[in-house]
Chain A
């Protein structure tokens, strides 16, 4: 079983829509969680960390549910520039990062 599992999509949504991505992780020893954004043929970049209390950064909201071992990302008022692949990441002790396969989002005009 993969450490981190995501629905690969693709998600095609109109501008202004709200879209949500979920991911699950298999190892309860995972301690820290993140969402990374990867544009086509580029390196991944940190979008935001994910906390149990939930955290918000502008139009983006991330949530962690440790009991169910899932992580979510909500994007409100989607912009064309949000089109990218979103990678869910779990980190265990010793700095080991585990990446999901990524969820592809295309925002349509």
Chain B
């Protein structure tokens, strides 16, 4: 089955640690995105990539980093510089006018 896979589903991190969220897609889509969703809020764009080896900052990129070495993969690193990382993180890819989402990773800082 084609789709987007995010892992892990739940992640706990200690303050001061970096953590990497995985996003893999086998849809052959060029464009991939990372969003953050907080309770009662919409999706805010962290980073996006239109093509391999290229990515752009979104609205809230501070404290995050990404890479796009392969078309299928767009991992997101939440660094210790991100002051409030506890949130629901969604990865998406797009084809024409439709966005497809992974099931999300719920990150909690303890």
Contacts and interface: CB of A to CB of B under 8 A. Distances in A.
A41 B105 CA distance: 10
Contacts of B31: 95
Interface of B: 31, 33, 35, 40-43, 45, 48, 50, 88, 90, 92, 94, 97-99, 101-104, 106
A44 B50 contact: no
A42 B101 CA distance: 10
Interface string A83-95: 0000101010011
Given A8-B40, A43-B103, 19 more contacts: A41-B88, A41-B104, A42-B103, A42-B104, A43-B90, A44-B90, A44-B99, A45-B101, A49-B97, A87-B42, A94-B50, A96-B45, A96-B48, A97-B45, A97-B94, A97-B99, A99-B35, A101-B40, A102-B42
Interface of A: 4, 6, 8, 32, 34, 36, 41-46, 49, 87, 89, 91, 94-102
Contacts of A42: 103-104
